[in-house]
A and B are shown apart, each in its own frame.
Chain A
Amino acid sequence: EPEVTQTPSHQVTQMGQEVILRCVPISNHLYFYWYRQILGQKVEFLVSFYNNEISEKSEIFDDQFSVERPDGSNFTLKIRSTKLEDSAMYFCASRGMNTEAFFGQGTRLTVV
């Protein structure tokens, strides 16, 4: 069965550093998403991406965040200058036209 792949599974970074979280969506999917889950809390929508541009973003997705689909297969989330409160599990998801969404296994980001 096709799956969404995220790397790394765990990333530790120092506060103020830039991090890039990577996702390989299911091929032929058109819509891509990033979600965040702070430990023990709900899964929060960050951003959706379609047709090479952001289609919607939440208030969490401020200027420190950016997304990119650099090569037609990867979908990345960049945090420019990490803060302690960015520590969370980050999930990538993708779906096709009128299909269900599939989530990746997540990247646990720890900012120290």
Chain B
Amino acid sequence: ELKVEQNPLFLSMQEGKNYTIYCNYSTTSDRLYWYRQDPGKSLESLFVLLSNGAVKQEGRLMASLDTKARLSTLHITAAVHDLSATYFCAVDPAGDDKIIFGKGTRLHILP
């Protein structure tokens, strides 16, 4: 069964710093998603990564995918308080039907 592991699960960091969230998965994947979720809110789609070497950037967030290593990263550049949220990666396995989510990384950015 597909396993999706995110780390760290909790991250507290200062504004202005850079950091990376990692998402490892255990089988081949058609797509990898990154979502943001604010407390009590819905899932906000950030990125969909389709192919090996894919890199997408939006503002201070950049996501990449290495299908050979079965690894995706979400990099935060010069963090600001507004980026405080929980970030989920989710994997769409090749040939399978369902998307599997990681446990999420709760990001807390201190002003």
Contacts and interface: CB of A to CB of B under 8 A. Distances in A.
A, B bound: yes
Given A48-B97, A55-B97, A91 B43 contact: yes
Interface residues of B, number: 20
Interface in B83-101: 88, 90, 92, 97-101
B57 interface: no
Task: Name A's interface SS.
Answer: strand
Interface residues of A, number: 25
Interface string B100-111: 111110000000
A106 B40 CA distance: 10
Contact of B97 (A50, A100, A106): A50
Given A31-B97, A55-B97, A56-B97, A42 B102 contact: yes
Interface string B8-37: 000000000000000000000011010100
Interface of A: 31, 33, 35, 39, 41-45, 48, 50, 55-56, 89, 91, 93, 98, 100-106, 108
